[in-house]
Amino acid sequence: MNTKRSVANSIWLAATVLVLVVVVVVTAAHKWPKGRSTQVTRQEQEDRVKDVLPPVISSLKGIEVVSAFIDDRGRANIIVVNNTDRGIKALAISSGNFMSSVDNGPREWNLPPLIPPHSTYTFQELVSNLRASSPLRISAIVYDDETEDGDADVRKTIRGTRDREKQRRLQESNKKAGN
C-alpha cells in the first residue's frame, strides 16, 4: 500500500508542478512586451501632417528657411537659402526621430554643389512622413570643401551613407573591370 501511496503522491506532485509551470508561462507571455507593430497606430496617424506644416527652422548659421508649404501632390516644400560663401554638398532635415537628407556626394565625385553660395534650394518630403507635433529643422550640412556643420549624429549618418555609396560604386566598377 505504501508504494501505491508514494506513486499517487509523485503523480499528484508532478501534475501540480506542471500546472504551476503552465500558469507562470501563460502569465509571463501576456506580460512580455510585444514587438512594435509595423502598422501605424491611430495616435500616430492623427499626429501626421495633413494641411499645415509644423514650424520649420534652421539651426545652422548661414542657412535660412525662406518658406515652407504643402503642394497639391502632398509634398512639403521647404525653401532654404545658402547665405554663406561656400557651396553645400549635403543638407539634412530632422523632426523627432525622422531624418532625411539630400547629398551630391563627396568632392571626388566632381558633382556640382547642391546649393551654390547665395542660392536657394527647395527640399521636398512627403507630408505623410512628418508629424504635426514635431518642428522641422535644418539639422546638418556638408560644405563643398567637406567641412560640416550641425547635429553630430546627423552628420555621422550622412558620412555613413556616403561610405556605403562609395563602397557600392567601388564594387560596381570592380565588376565592370572584371568582365
Who wins on pLDDT, 156 or 132? Answer: 156
Q: What is the pLDDT of residues 74-126, one digit of tens each?
A: 899 999 999 999 999 999 999 988 899 998 888 777 889 999 999 999 999 99
The whole-model pTM stands at 0.68
- Reference 108, options 178, 165, 172, 175; nearest CA is 165
CB 110 within 8 A of CB 30: no
Instruction: Give me the residue spans of the domains in the chain.
Output: 46-164
CB 65 within 8 A of CB 138: yes
Q: Which three cell numbers stand for residue 131?
A: 508629424
